[in-house]
Structure formats: structure tokens, C-alpha cells
Structure 1
Amino acid sequence: MRQVLASLALLAGCSSTPTSTDPDVDWDKFAPTVKQRIDTEAKAKDCEALQTEFDSAELNHHADLMGYVDAKMNAAGCYGG
């Protein structure tokens, strides 16, 4: 049972598709490639690129996008957990 739960947790962390925990973002405010780029970086667990996305969102005061990128960084294991 423990192994099944660990496998499910691993699979959930690898997904770049929207989940109920993804923060809401008004994607109409952004170029169509922004979400795709972030999701691709998250799937690749490219923490450096995700941090750059987060910093850009912060610089431009896009709190909703910051939350989305933060959730992707967390799922990708960028915080060491």
C-alpha cells in the first residue's frame, strides 16, 4: 500500500496538466505561449527557468501568475522537498 501511495504521489508531481490545486490565472492577460512554456519547464523540472518565470511575474506584479509558477516549482521539487 505504501508503495502505491508513493507511486501516485510521484505521478501527481510529474503532471503539468491543470489540477484542482493549480491557482487560477487569467490567461487572457498573457501571450498564448506563456502557460505552455511554464508547463514545459515544470515537466522538465527546470527549476532555474521556473525561477526566472516567477521573478518576471513578480517584477510585473502578476500575483496570480506568481502563484501558478510557485505551485509548478513545488510540484517539480524545486524547494528540495
Structure 2
Amino acid sequence: MAVICEEDGTSLQVATQHLRDLLLRTGSLFQFIGELKSPPHQELFLQARVGRNVDGIDVKLYNRALELRRQFEAKFKRDM
């Protein structure tokens, strides 16, 4: 298990046992794709299927691109 922390102080446990060849380093930026799991009487965690190091990414630009994509997808769904 790894714990990822957001800039706002929130955190999420990530199960990493299915990841291969990914060096997890404290202080680095990572992106994970997987399923959110919520076992009875346990905390929510992410079962990671894919993970990658994204050190060097422009986080503000990435967040802006994500926001624009969500706006586009919402408009696309309305127009259908």
C-alpha cells in the first residue's frame, strides 16, 4: 500500500501490488488509474492497475486541460 497526498491535505491509500517496474519515491508526482474500492468497515482505497511517474508535469496546465475536457464532454452529452 502507498498513501498519496493531495496539495490540499487530503489523502488516499493506493494498493500497488499489481504495478510492475514503478519506482515509488516520496515527494514525486504519480498518476494512477484503477478502481475505487470500499470494503465493509474499511476506508476507501484505490486498487491501482496502472501507475506512472509524472515528475516535471505542469500541474496547473494539466488541471486546466482536464477542466476543458470535462466542459467539452458535458456539452457533447447535452447536444446529443
The TM-score, its normalising length taken from structure 2, stands at 0.31
The structure where helix makes up a greater share of residues is 1
The structure where strand makes up a greater share of residues is 2
Q: Which structure is higher in RCO with an 8 Å CA cutoff and minimum separation 6?
A: 1
